[in-house]
Amino acid sequence: MDESPILVQQQSGYRVITLNRPQRLNAFTEAMHETLRTALAEAEADTNCRALLLTGAGRGFCAGQDLNDRLSQAGETPVLGGALEAYYNPLVRKLRALPLPVVAAVNGVAAGAGCNIALACDIVIAGRSASFIQSFAKIGLVPDSGGTWTLPRLVGPARARALALLAEPLPATTAEAWGLIWRAYEDAALMEEAHKLCARFALAPTAGLALIKRALDQSWDNSLDAQLDLERDFQREASLNPDYAEGVRAFMEKRAPRFAGRS
Ligand code: T3D
């Protein structure tokens, strides 16, 4: 039997999800999408899971759609859109909406939808040898999986346009300098740093972090006025969670807090 296209590893308080088609730089097939969807649903349903680490097997993170499944015969006119509706868009929406932080550890090239799926995660770190490529223009496509939304917000319109129109690889260190990602690490240190982040999130006030994710995402559509109202409402909600009282008590007692997280 073929190895699963997605590997899931349980850690204390978090899960590691590995895209696992290394011979194709972890390019997406339908089977891989289905397996990833199940893995994300299971992680969400497990209240002991307080963070996710998403990475790739082998030398790449993800090369986007597997183009073997898109080869058309001469005379055929392929029509795309269906896979975005069925798989890529729900995946990006799920990553943004998960009530726990998602860390992408970009271990190698992240191209096409693979790049934009990484950028949809909450914290993106990368090995220094990794690169980010909006490959779409090279094959006559448009950046998808949120790329046209995410890129200008992260790096500004001029850089977003050049990245999308030129489809050139952006080295991880430049991606860090431009604010596309959080940090670039030596390749050998990447996974240790990713695990450190997730272990830290596994002890964090997870419900509060989930509200932070939502507040930041909603800010793009809001006026300052509307966002101030949202912050008032979210703060009220955060304060109702026992983790807030515990955080204040721990501070006053000069000890580490014991947050309940999602339970
Ligand atoms: O429904 C829809 O289709 C819409 C959704 C679209 C989403 C998308 O993601 S569209 C964009 C698809 N992705 C690409 O266009 C990227 C294609 N890949 C590349 O440009 C290069 O592979 C990379 C720049 C990512 C890496 O280059 P390099 O030189 O490091 O590696 P390589 O030799 O090109 O790739 C290694 C192997 O992986 C190779 O196979 P081989 O020759 O050893 O048997 C290569 O064919 C395979 N591979 C890489 N990317 C893909 C792929 N096979 C299928 N699909 C891929 N996307």
pLDDT tens across 180-222, in order? 999 999 999 999 999 999 999 999 999 999 999 999 999 999 9
What are the structure tokens assigned to 258, written together? Answer: 């014991």
To test the ligand 1 pocket, which listed residue (19, 21, 25, 129) has its Cβ within 8 A of the most ligand atoms?
A: 25
The model's pLDDT over 58-84, given as tens digits with 9 standing for 90+, comes to: 999 999 999 999 999 888 889 999 999
H or E element in which residue 18 lies? strand 14-19
Q: Cα-Cα-Cα-Cα dihedral of 24, 29, 31, 32, to 10°? A: 60
What are the structure tokens assigned to 133, written together? Answer: 């490529």
Report how far ligand 1's centroid is from the alpha carbon of 62 (Å): 8
**% of the chain surpassing 90 pLDDT:** 95
Q: Are 153 and 95 in contact (CB under 8 A)?
A: no
pTM, entire model: 0.97
Specify the residue with its C-alpha closest to ligand 1, atom 16: 63
Residue 242's nearest CA partner among 213, 211, 218, 208 is 208
Distance CA 138, CA 166 (A): 8
Binding site membership of 153 for ligand 1 (Cβ less than 6 Å): no
Report how far ligand 1's centroid is from the alpha carbon of 191 (Å): 23
Report how far ligand 1's centroid is from the alpha carbon of 42 (Å): 29
Specify the residue with its C-alpha closest to ligand 1, atom 29: 109
